[in-house]
Amino acid sequence: MNPLSGFGTLLYKELLRFWKVAFQTVAAPVLTTLLYLLIFSHVMQGRAPVYGEVPYAAFLVPGLVMMAVLQNAFANSSSSLIQSKVTGNIIFVLLPPLSHWEFFAAYVLASVVRGMAVGAGVLLVSLAFVGLSFEHPLWIIAFALAGSAILGTLGLIAGIWADKFDQVAAFQSFLIMPLTFLSGVFYSIHSLPAFWQDLSRFNPFFYMIDGFRYGFFGVSDIDPALSLAVALANLLVFTAVTLALLRRGYKLRF
Q: Using one digit for the tens of pLDDT, what is the confidence trace for 68-83?
A: 999 999 999 999 999 9
Taking residue 123's Cβ as centre, other Cβ atoms within 10 Å add up to 22
Residues of the chain with pLDDT under 70: 1-4, 43-50, 52, 254
Q: Where are the domains of the chain?
A: 8-44+56-248
Cα torsion 133, 134, 139, 142 to 10°: value is 110
Q: Is 235 exposed, middle or buried (0-12, 13-18, 19+ CB in 10 A)?
A: buried
What is the tens place of the pLDDT at every residue in 140-173?
Answer: 999 999 999 999 999 999 999 999 999 999 999 9
